[in-house]
């Protein structure tokens, strides 16, 4: 049996725990082992998360638990997750993370610490395609000439509506927030930071680039008007 601990049982973490439980038979048949979520970490224990796993507000209850085989990091942020992922790897635990900001800043350090211990992050960038596994394995013998694509769904939705429907920036931003496509504070998306982190992760795999977000030009869509896209 493989036991998983989840750092950050929010919207995504709750889904991970519930999917592992609901699809346990399918997952076991495909993986060849029973995989269960043992425990998770939240900031507010008083809030109902809708999960059956044991919850704690101390991340070390997961990271230092000798029974946990895999740590799933879904906290967000950079430095706190970095310290916890580093500690988990040093404890010999495999790590799965969807944290693109963490990887944009610390992927190489964590990969070096991990050594032969699995450090997986398919969900961090274009997980629905998926692309990271393809670059690391199926395309590993190829010269990658360029990487192009839609890196941020929020910007894609907004710009598509500005181009096709003549929507104004503020108007379509408000609509995106109401639909749940944009956060209450949309800076990470519309400022270009989300896309830059994803590009850095892909470039590091395809070209061996060891760059940080501050090393590249980042320009968002905040100042684009309908006139610009006509």
Does the CA dihedral 6-10-11-17 come out positive or negative?
A: positive
Q: How far apart are CA 222 and CA 230, in angstroms?
A: 16
Q: How far apart are CA 156 and CA 153, in angstroms?
A: 5
List residues bridging with 56 in a β-sheet.
Answer: 41
Q: Is 57 helix (H, G, I), strand (E, B) or coil?
A: coil
Contact between 76 and 97 under an 8 Å Cβ cutoff? The reply is: no
The residues assigned a catalytic role are 198
Contact between 104 and 201 under an 8 Å Cβ cutoff? The reply is: yes
Contacts of 182 (CB under 8 A, 6+ apart): 154, 158, 173, 176, 189, 190
Contact between 75 and 99 under an 8 Å Cβ cutoff? The reply is: yes
């Amino acid at each position: 049996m493989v036991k998983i601990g989840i750092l950050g049982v929010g919207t995504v973490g709750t889904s991970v725990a519930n999917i592992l439980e609901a699809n346990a038979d399918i997952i076991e048949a495909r993986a060849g082992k029973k995989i269960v979520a043992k425990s998770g970490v939240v900031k507010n224990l008083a809030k109902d998360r809708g999960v059956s796993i044991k919850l704690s507000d101390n991340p070390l209850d997961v990271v230092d638990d000798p029974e946990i085989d895999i740590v799933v990091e879904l906290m967000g942020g950079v430095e706190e997750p970095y310290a916890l992922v580093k500690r988990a790897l040093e404890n010999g635990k495999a790590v799965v993370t969807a944290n693109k900001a963490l990887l944009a800043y610390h992927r190489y350090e964590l990969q070096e610490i991990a050594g032969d211990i699995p450090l997986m992050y398919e969900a961090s960038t274009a997980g629905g395609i998926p692309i990271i596994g393809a670059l690391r394995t199926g395309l590993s013998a190829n010269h990658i000439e360029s990487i192009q694509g839609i890196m941020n769904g929020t910007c894609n939705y907004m710009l598509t509506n500005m181009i096709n429907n003549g929507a104004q920036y503020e108007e379509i931003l408000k609509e995106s927030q109401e639909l749940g496509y944009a956060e209450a504070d949309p800076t990470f998306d519309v400022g270009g930071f989300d896309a830059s982190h994803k590009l850095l992760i892909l470039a590091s795999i395809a070209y061996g680039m060891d760059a940080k977000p501050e090393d590249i030009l980042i320009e968002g869509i905040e100042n684009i008007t309908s006139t610009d896209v006509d």
